[in-house]
Amino acid sequence: MTSYTKHYINGAWQEASSKAHFEVHDASTEEVMATVPQGTVEEAAQAVMAARKAFPAWSGLSVEERCQYIDKIVASLKARSDEMATAIAREVGMPLKLSKMVQVGGPVFNWGNAAKVARAYQYEEKIGNSMVVREPVGVVGCITPWNFPLNQITLKIAPALAAGCTVVLKPSEIAPVNAMILAEIIHDAGVPAGVFNLVNGAGPVVGEVLASHHEVDMVSFTGSTRAGKRVAALAAESVKRVTLELGGKSASIVLLDADMEAAVKGTLTACFLNSGQTCSAHTRMLVPESRYDEVKSLLKTGIAKYPLGPSLEETTRLGPLITATQRERVLGFIQQGLNQGAELIAGGTDKPAFDKGYFVHPTALRVKPDDTLAREEIFGPVLVVLTYKDEDEAVRIANDTIYGLGGGVWSGSEEHAMAVARRMRTGQVDINGAPFNGNAPFGGYKQSGNGRENGKFGFEEFLEHKAIQLKPADKA
């Protein structure tokens, strides 16, 4: 077990003022794998002031100078990728092979991409008699979740630093070990004191300081819709810029002319990634009534190919959930669905054959549009299936949610799929299982949040516009 006792503030590891700590559990064994300190209001405020002090010099560096620090971070992250992947596999529960590819491979790309975008970006534009310039927004408070912990940190910290902002990070207290390793990497890269700060702590303590402190210019939050509303309310008092990436209940619309086998396989992949602990997971599958029996049979076969197992075992395709609380929450949703009359297609609430670990069987249920499971974000390996009579009804069902983060359309015709995709009120739509694009904007409609991450779109969130009016030259 690793016991962390320090926060990273103003370029140094500072002993925590409180002996209170959080326990970090291995999701597969339930053992305590690490502890991190519980930060205080005072420590969070100290980190904010360190970031404020560092901002003028950091923002005054050239883009190339800032990006050279990022290049060093990328190199060190690659060198420590096995260590990082193992830590995340243990604390989150994603199988190690996937953890290497997704939980670490994604951040390596996104750190490097932030520098690439920053180097190519046009910061000045002449419009009439104005010079329009883009400048860093200032001090950014970053509050990140536990499900893709390093990547969610990266999508905030990397573009913010590249843009010339200074940051204070509050990582998830449930999966903070990866953040501590990243802080070591940033320190070793020689990033100037105060530019990056990390304070572990609870949301109602450290998180609320970042959302409300008058010296924080922007807060970037990823997490639950409930917590996001609280962050936005606090930030409104000082009129901060706020970006929110929140919950989802994404629909995978399978059209009548789709390849049903491919649609089922692809939807299960999009639903069960990270044991369903993904905000943009395709957790509602909408299928034509006339094809339901076929889809039901394919789902039973497909779900049987997702064996549960500890995250560090090579054969594991589906790992545990992150905590006992999360496991009980997901099991409670499944039971609620059954109580409301849902048809169990596969999985269920039976205890998996493991003495330890927060495991839940991958599950599929047929539900009705007004059922709880069709409307609430479950955040576990649970797919709900709804049937529709025609495409208009399918689109209505897909859009009938407070969320709008992800989605998919399956069709034998790309043109047909595109027409339906354009009608969906959501931030991303995958056609026929098309791959994720790290340069396309990621974010949501409605209560899935506001603002975007990834590529130039995420980079621009950390920039302000300034118009400098120039006196026109006298005409000859």
d(CA 34, CA 14): 18
Catalytic residue, chosen from 43, 173, 245, 377, is: 245
CA-nearest of 72, 87, 82, 99 to 196 is 72
How many domains, in total, are found in the chain?
2
> Which pLDDT belongs to residue 472?
86
pLDDT band per the 50, 70, 90 thresholds, residue 475? low
Q: What is the pLDDT of residues 108-151, one digit of tens each?
A: 999 999 999 999 999 999 999 999 999 999 999 999 999 999 99
Neighbours of 87 (CB within 10 A): 27
Phi, psi of 373, rounded to the nearest 5 degrees: -70, -20
Residue 476 placed within a domain:
no
Residues 175, 236, single domain; the answer is yes
Residues 20, 123, single domain; the answer is yes
CA angle 86, 94, 323 (to 5 degrees): 100
Residue 472 placed within a domain:
no
Over the chain, what is the mean pLDDT? 97
Domain CATH for 393: 3.40.309.10
d(CA 319, CA 98): 10
Q: What is the pLDDT of residues 323-344, one digit of tens each?
A: 999 999 999 999 999 999 999 9
Residue 75 placed within a domain:
yes
Q: What is the pLDDT of residues 422-450, one digit of tens each?
A: 999 999 999 999 999 999 999 999 999 99
Residue 72 placed within a domain:
yes
Whether 279 sits among the annotated catalytic residues: the reply is yes
Tell whether the model's pLDDT for residue 26 goes beyond 70: yes
For tokens 């009804």, what's the residue? Answer: 393
Residues 218, 300, single domain; the answer is no
Residues 218, 323, single domain; the answer is no
The answer to whether 253 and 407 have CB atoms below 8 angstroms apart is yes
Residues 224, 373, single domain; the answer is no
> Which pLDDT belongs to residue 473?
78
Residues 275, 185, single domain; the answer is no
Q: What is the pLDDT of residues 164-205, one digit of tens each?
A: 999 999 999 999 999 999 999 999 999 999 999 999 999 999
Tell whether the model's pLDDT for residue 239 goes beyond 70: yes
Residues 203, 257, single domain; the answer is no
Residues 461, 381, single domain; the answer is no
Residue 473 placed within a domain:
no
Q: What is the pLDDT of residues 56-102, one digit of tens each?
A: 999 999 999 999 999 999 999 999 999 999 999 999 999 999 999 99
Tell whether the model's pLDDT for residue 470 goes beyond 60: yes
Q: What is the DSSP string of 306-321?
A: --B--TTSTT-SB---
**Residue 426: both structure tokens together:** 């959501």
pLDDT (average), residues 293-313: 97
Residue 43 corresponds to which amino acid? E
The answer to whether 372 and 341 have CB atoms below 8 angstroms apart is no
d(CA 242, CA 400): 26
Cα–Cα distances (Å) from 190 to 68, 115, 151, 211, 306, in that order, read 10, 16, 22, 28, 44
d(CA 348, CA 322): 18
Domain that holds residue 403: 250-439
Neighbours of 3 (CB within 10 A): 10
Q: What is the DSSP string of 76-120?
A: HHHHTHHHHHHHHHHHH---HHHIIIIIIHHHHHHHHHHHHHHHH
Residue 128 placed within a domain:
yes
Q: Give the global pTM.
A: 0.96
Residue 377 placed within a domain:
yes
Rounded to 10°, the helix 149-163/177-188 angle is 30
Residue 210 placed within a domain:
yes
Residues 144, 238, single domain; the answer is yes
Catalytic residue, chosen from 67, 142, 165, 279, is: 279
Domain CATH for 128: 3.40.605.10
H-only helix segments in 143-176 = 149-163
Torsion, Cα of 301, 303, 305, 306 (10° steps): -170
For tokens 């999360």, what's the residue? Answer: 326
Residues 141, 258, single domain; the answer is no
Residues 218, 318, single domain; the answer is no
Residues 305, 363, single domain; the answer is yes
**Residue 443: both structure tokens together:** 């974010």
CA-nearest of 348, 363, 360 to 324 is 360
d(CA 398, CA 393): 9
Q: What is the pLDDT of residues 243-264, one digit of tens each?
A: 999 999 999 999 999 999 999 9
Whether 245 sits among the annotated catalytic residues: the reply is yes
